[in-house]
A and B are shown apart, each in its own frame.
Chain A
């Protein structure tokens, strides 16, 4: 049986067909405004090239920027009711207080604050009040809002109040969908609540998108299950995506890093993904992207998602070069128009690819125009480009060990063969590493919680957390016997007595079936 991996990018929709560990074919076609026809085109091309029939495909894995783009462009977001269980605490900063005006308008800016919430140690700030929540539900119904985000103080420690509040409100809002913040984010109420509200506002779009993918696959007679990749490199089934669309945010860089790992067999490495306008550099730890430790903005809204830690520089295959001394490199790029505007293709703009071609590093287009600069000048510009790449790679390095740098993406000829003391590896199929990353997705489970070590030992707390994460992974479709610990971190909490410690832990397993 075969698997199909898809990556829907801003410019191209890539598709690969894989058999076991082998990549049989990798194709690209332009991304279309409706997304789906681009996906259909790419899959069709891949199936035609390999002569594989639809019934031989066991699963389709899709990586998409669809939901991130909806937020960035403030499109297709539903009016949402934000309900925070916190009173009397937390009322000085209401939900969405730190959102840009336009995105706040896109979701309607509706919020309510009600009694509830827990303390760090699990005590109640106040009890939830059924009458109050019923009244809020009636007000939400009166506004015809059917998308609700509930966020309770310290819900990552105890999610009971969020669940009870949803059940109470559901009685008055039987058709509404509820997003509970504890299912999405970690500690940091504003960031977690922001993520929950964005998630809620994307649920309708998600339902439509999942449905459209299903129909697109059906039109190709693909009846196998399909999955969407999330930002930690693992997969979500279609029902899960409908409930948690925000978990797809930033899945693009994750897929390319995971794909690079898979194609080279390297588990610990730096990945440099060179596109047309920029280079994303990230670090792989045990085959997964290292997550960012600070909060991440999505469309101007602060969140605390498990985003991969990616350092981007404005250097890609289409980056415009002014051969001054020193040369001015970027940040502007001709991007995908390089085939019309790049000097090597008969255009008028000197690009980074011209430099590479002029030095004979790559053999595409016409090296003539670049060579007019003279070899010394070309070498000097290339040295500047190498410095930018070296700086970015050094920044993401995770240890003094000489781990390899994996060069992927259409513009990766710009990466030198050696970066400082680090060797560079260039996999076959480097241009479709992201689609490969989608095709190899696994299933994960995660826990992030504060434990008081005055009552239980650290080992007990860790094993409790691990069991919970494992249960979550199995519920999401992982094969129980394939589950292993991916990442575990415990951070003692400063300024708190009683040995409070925050444990973050993640397990992954192979997809069932």
Chain B
């Protein structure tokens, strides 16, 4: 990145004039340079020879820098993962910033560098974008929107409607890490911990699973906002079947569990960024688990439950002591309890 000569971003950087060009040339274009972006058109022109998956997401996180990452890599990984969850190989991303005037140029550059690093790691190209600047007080430092495009895997047939009673549910690793890492740095809540966000790209593990098992993989979902509990509830509702879970099987790292206890939060509803669940035909559960555990993004993978004919539309979890409870969907934000 070249020096823009500015310490902070001002309204002029979104004017479309000289300052905008300066910012784009020095920070954006030379960072992300590729044949599609370098056309410098109003949009990118690409060739597509298969079914494509498209997904868009906006990132509005506070704080924008946190342990384990920043809003930049979140904006890449979040959308890359959403495309991957469709059973697709992510290829291209659009990248749009809404910046509040006054953001430090150094912070913006750091975020752009993280976007680049995350895009390279997941093998996607930034092919078009946009930069707007809003007045102070009209935004919250920086918002990012990304739209991802991916080629659907030739062997993929991902649909919630392929799920049958008896299918198994697996997750790739520890839940609730991202949400608790963010909580640990929120104003007024700061507590000392080594918690780091789990933000990462999941597309290569997803591809390996599809290469190996094809149509026997029924569904991928990444339980970001609302957590594992909310996503499982959505699945049960979509197919009018039940979900049965064992609490003891759900991978939960000790420090995260302790932080949840301390703040009175249920890890089942805490956000994740590097977690996905996969619903598979029961004939392949062992092989799927083995493949996941042998992949760097799935070392702590576990079989957590199954789809049932019983208790349709409900997620029932067997507690550590053998009792049963309903896992209901999250209503609003999880609220910390009084005592």
A binds B: no
